[in-house]
Amino acid sequence: MFYEKRKLLENLTGVNSSKLNYYVELKSKNEKIVKQNEGLGIINQIVRGVNIDMTIGDIVKRAYSKIALAVPCDFLGLALLHKDKLYMKAAMPLNLNRSNPIPRESFLWECTITEKNEVYDSVHTEDPFITENPELEGKICSLVVAPLFIGATIQGILLVGSKMSFSYSPTESNFVKQLANQLTTCILNIKLYKQVSRANCEWEATFNALTEPISLIDTHFNVLRNNDHFPIPTDSDFSKGDKKCQKCFTLLWGRDERCEECPMEEIIRTGKPVDKRIQKDSGETFDISYYPVYDELNKLAGVINYIKNVTYKIKMEAQLIQTAKMAAIGEMAAGMAHELNNPMTAIVGTAQLMKRERESGDGESELLSDIILSGLRCKKIIQNLLTFSRQDEYPFAIIDLNKEIEGALNLIRYQIDRSEIEFIKNLLPKVLKINANGHRLQQVLVNLLINARDALDGVKREKKIEVSNSVYEDGNEKKWVITTVRDTGIGIASKDLPKIFNPFYTSKEAVNGTGLGLSVSLGIVQAHGGTIEVDSVLGEGSSFSVILPVCVDNCLKMCD
């Protein structure tokens, strides 16, 4: 009875109906949340499958294959703004490549400008970008448009369409908006990644394009990166460098410990780039530049090390300097010789005239003979100076080697005699005809003779210079002429021997030596297809042999 009364009361007061309403509402809310969760799950699935190699077309295709699980979808399109123009970048069911921009008066442009997430329930669009999709049979009747934003800037729109009218609820419209947000992030990430990797590739290509070794080294001497152009291909100690050990002193110089002359400390102290030039025992010369590299906290992180082989360049520079030096000496000598030639002609001529008037055996006549002989000798020296200073092109010709040796000796003889050096000449008593440039060969011999004289400077022992030559035939029946300048001077230490042909290597004081003589001489002899060989014992003396080949048989004629 009591129970029935209560039921009646509940019916009359409406408690039952509000309870029912409450449950209905709860149920619909619950369904909404479930749907939203499902939607988020699907968005998650779509985004998870996106990777950096995908194009926008691939992303839209992937989204299209999943989206129907969350909302009705017969059409999915993604339009992007580029330089104030709107392009349909990708659309499904058929991913047409549309290169023309969407016309400004069109419905899609309007949707973009409004920047709103909207549902259009009766789309009267004849927009070709939707209607011309041949895979889409039928007409799109409802459409959700969601703007794609990066920050506050609109980038384009995402379109989800259905052939049915009134297909989309606000929840579904919200789903499309969330999907649009996620897709924007994906597209932005891919774009950024591609930009970074393109920049990286460009840097790597620049790094590798350099043909010289370049590396990034940290302050603990670890080589962090290099362009695979080292170890420097030179003498054996470089090849000791084990590529697995990434210390710069090992990789670059084949050492177990840091180099004594390493400029790292100087760079840490000054923060400024350092340039160095090093010369290996082999004669190869390298210019090394160290540029400091700073991290984001402006702290020195390491150095860029750039190595350039300048051996050829400095050889050319040496040739130029020597040529300029020779040209200057030649010009001066030519001037002097020219000025002296006329008075000498007059002196010799007058002496000859005076002698003719004297009886032979007369004391004065003998004095005049001395004047004539000395005068003639002076004229010969002048002639040599003129030959030496000739400024023409110096072409090769068949010449007599002994004549050139005599020419060189005449130029230097006075200096040798003045230094109280015994001079021995041991030349083959034959005409040695070779194909060469006489002036250049004289230049070589003068260099060797001056070096020999310098080596005897201050020597207490017997001072001797010997110039000799010989001919020999090698195993291939090839003939060679060897001209040797031997001295009993100070000699060369065996550790210095490999360096003497290096340009600018000199043991003499700056005023006496430029260190170019031998390098230029070697260059000249090599240009003749020959070489210079050295034999020296410290404290005993040296001998320099100029070896010249004879390529054609009749170039070397030995006539008695």
Identify which range of 245-253, 385-393, 436-444, 449-457 contacts Mg ion by CB under 5 A: 449-457
Give the DSSP H/E element, type plus range, for residue 397: strand 397-400
Q: How far apart are CA 49 and CA 61, in angstroms?
A: 11
Place of tokens 């004669």: 283
**Least distance (Å) between residue 500 CB and ligand ATP:** 4
**Least distance (Å) between residue 490 CB and ligand ATP:** 6
Do the beta carbons of residue 103 and residue 109 sit within 8 Å? Answer: yes
Identify which range of 241-249, 434-442, 451-459, 471-479 contacts Mg ion by CB under 5 A: 451-459
**Least distance (Å) between residue 450 CB and Mg ion:** 6
Work out whether strand 464-473 and strand 422-426 pair parallel, antiparallel, or are unpaired.
parallel
**Least distance (Å) between residue 319 CB and ligand ATP:** 12
Residue closer to ligand ATP, measured from CB, 227 or 484: 484
**Least distance (Å) between residue 468 CB and ligand ATP:** 15
Judged by beta carbon distances under 5 to 8 A according to partner kind, the member of Mg ion, ligand ATP, none in contact with residue 215 is none
Peptide bond connecting 103 to the previous residue in cis, omega within 30 degrees of 0: no
Q: How far apart are CA 383 and CA 387, in angstroms?
A: 6
Token pair for residue 397? 């010709």
Residue closer to ligand ATP, measured from CB, 172 or 487: 487
**Least distance (Å) between residue 304 CB and ligand ATP:** 35
Residue of the chain from 407, 517, 523, 541 that contacts Mg ion (CB under 5 A): 517
Helix (H, G, I), strand (E, B) or coil at 38: helix
In 103-116, which positions are buried (b, 16+ CB within 10 angstroms) versus exposed (e)? eeebbbbebbeeee
Nearest to 338 by CA among 373, 298, 379, 309: 379
For position 384 contacting Mg ion by CB under 5 A, the verdict is no
Token pair for residue 189? 């990430």
Token pair for residue 134? 């041949």
Residue closer to ligand ATP, measured from CB, 348 or 446: 446
Q: How far apart are CA 445 and CA 484, in angstroms?
A: 9
Judged by beta carbon distances under 5 to 8 A according to partner kind, the member of ligand ATP, Mg ion, none in contact with residue 402 is none
Which residue pairs from 16-22 have beta carbons closer than 8 angstroms and sit at least 24 positions apart in sequence? Answer: none
**Least distance (Å) between residue 416 CB and ligand ATP:** 13
Q: How far apart are CA 213 and CA 308, in angstroms?
A: 7
**Least distance (Å) between residue 424 CB and ligand ATP:** 15
Judged by beta carbon distances under 5 to 8 A according to partner kind, the member of ligand ATP, Mg ion, none in contact with residue 374 is none
Span between the terminal Cα atoms of the chain, in Å: 161
Reported in sequence order, the residue ranges of 187-332 that DSSP labels E, i.e. its strands, are 214-218, 223-226, 274-279, 285-294, 300-309
Judged by beta carbon distances under 5 to 8 A according to partner kind, the member of ligand ATP, Mg ion, none in contact with residue 49 is none
Judged by beta carbon distances under 5 to 8 A according to partner kind, the member of Mg ion, ligand ATP, none in contact with residue 516 is ligand ATP
Residue nearest to ligand ATP (CB): 517
**Least distance (Å) between residue 202 CB and ligand ATP:** 46
Judged by beta carbon distances under 5 to 8 A according to partner kind, the member of ligand ATP, Mg ion, none in contact with residue 185 is none
Residue closer to ligand ATP, measured from CB, 383 or 514: 514
Residue of the chain from 285, 305, 451, 469 that contacts Mg ion (CB under 5 A): 451
Identify which range of 93-101, 321-329, 400-408, 509-517 contacts Mg ion by CB under 5 A: 509-517
Applying CB under 6 A, which residues contact ligand ATP? Answer: 447, 451-452, 455, 487, 489-492, 500, 505-508, 513-519, 542
Do the beta carbons of residue 217 and residue 198 sit within 8 Å? Answer: no
Q: How far apart are CA 262 and CA 282, in angstroms?
A: 21
Judged by beta carbon distances under 5 to 8 A according to partner kind, the member of ligand ATP, Mg ion, none in contact with residue 93 is none
Nearest to 541 by CA among 466, 473, 437, 431: 466
Judged by beta carbon distances under 5 to 8 A according to partner kind, the member of ligand ATP, Mg ion, none in contact with residue 514 is ligand ATP
**Least distance (Å) between residue 499 CB and ligand ATP:** 8
Residue nearest to Mg ion (CB): 517
**Binding residues vs Mg ion (CB under 5 A):** 451, 517
